[in-house]
Amino acid sequence: MVNKSEVLRKSVHLLGLLYIPALFYLGKDFMSAAVLLLTAFASFLEIIRAKKEIFPDSILREYEKRGVGGYLYTGLAFSIITPLFPLKACVIAAICAFAGDGLAGIFKKVNRKLSFPTFFTFSYILSLTLGLDWKLTSVTIIISAMFDGRKFLNDNFTIPISAAITYHFLTTLFG
């Protein structure tokens, strides 16, 4: 069963999709600066959070209460991706991180077997809607979904990074 705090946590992922129209309308240079600024602010919040409880417990997972919040990993990932990768690689990274991972997190609370189909389906549909190549997108989503829920490095970092690298690599090879 899905609880309200998980839906709240994942709704933040879905808000991250606003990054995509911001990229198109404000440009990569502006968004690079904005993401860096937001990540610096997130770092500041983490320093304060280490000393004082500033977030409700319901929005943090147990490992985040003892360590670093997932939002900082996301900020770090997009601080690397936005200035260094082409626009379409930034877009697929956002789709996988925010739509794929966000919705898969909700659906896997109902049934763990729904995680990958949800991640793939929502990411794929959104990617096609935004005009990304269907073959390159398919491979990219599958590879980035493999990082969902992995603990060796926070998936808020590995999902968008792997998506950007994979899409860029594939477009370089197959254009």
Q: What is the pLDDT of residues 68-96, one digit of tens each?
A: 778 899 999 999 999 999 999 999 999 99
Split at pLDDT 50, 70, 90, the class of 147 is confident
- Please report the pLDDT score of residue 58 as a whole number: 55
- Into how many domains does the chain fold? 1
Across residues 125-145, what is the average pLDDT?
Answer: 94
How far apart CA 56 and CA 33 sit, in angstroms, is: 29
How far apart CA 53 and CA 65 sit, in angstroms, is: 9
Report how far apart, in Å, the C-alpha atoms of 114 and of each of 79, 101, 160 are.
Answer: 30, 12, 20
What pTM did the predictor assign?
0.88
Q: Which of 56, 130, 64 has its CA nearest to residue 93?
A: 130
Domain carrying residue 42? 4-174
- Mean pLDDT of all residues in the chain? 87
For tokens 């997932």, the residue is 70
